[in-house]
Amino acid sequence: MKRVVFVLLASSALFLSCEDEVNDPLIPNEEEVITTLTYTLTGAGSVHTFTFQDLDGDGGNAPMITVDTITSGVSYNGSLSLLNETESPAGNITAEIFAEAEEHQFFFQSSDPALSVSYSDTDANQQPLGLLSELSASDPGDYSLTITLRHEPDKSASGVSDGDITNAGGETDIEVIFQIHVL
């Protein structure tokens, strides 16, 4: 009988300690696995797609990157889609980011001010998110566009709400560089 009571008490203590660890705010959430980022631009009656896909993660095979040519002087509506294609069916990371909008922000860094991106969506606190954006290029040329997703950035830090990643902090979930040709 003593042995049964001891086993029950030990099991209860183990269950409670595991439960506390799961709910402990000091233990970080497991980061999302993002294998694919697609940036879709719609404007002037056409759709352009930029895709980054790295199914085996860091190392191994190089990621596959595809980029469409865009036209200067056109304002494009942009939308981001992120997937975890290590699962079947693929996990929709976009939905997770939207659900946790206050904890995420995309940053768009251009190699030249002639290529600019602005936010078209916000989180519940009216801070930028970046799943939706507007992209335009004022001049023809070749540009690079870096898209970075930060987890738990300091959205109130200087410049962050304007898209400046310098003071954002947080953890980078994914960073992709697209080389864009603008006609």
Mean pLDDT, contiguous 10-residue spans, the chain (183 residues):
37 33 42 90 97 88 95 98 94 96 98 97 97 97 98 97 96 97 97
Residue 9 lies in a domain: no
pLDDT at 22 (0 to 100): 37
Residue from 25, 15, 78 nearest 50 by CA? 78
pLDDT at 157 (0 to 100): 97
Residue 24 lies in a domain: no
Structural domain of residue 69, as residue ranges?
Answer: 30-182
Residue 19 lies in a domain: no
pLDDT at 30 (0 to 100): 56
Q: Which residue type occupies 144?
A: S
Residue 162 lies in a domain: yes
115: Cβ contacts below 8 Å, ≥ 6 apart: 135, 136, 137, 143, 145, 180, 182
Q: Report the distance separating Cα 92 and Cα 36, nearest Å.
A: 10
Residue 25 lies in a domain: no
Residue 111 lies in a domain: yes
Residue 7 lies in a domain: no
Q: Give yes or no for a cis peptide into 25 (omega within 30° of 0).
A: no
Q: Total structural domains in the chain?
A: 1
Q: Give yes or no for a cis peptide into 128 (omega within 30° of 0).
A: no
Residue 49 lies in a domain: yes
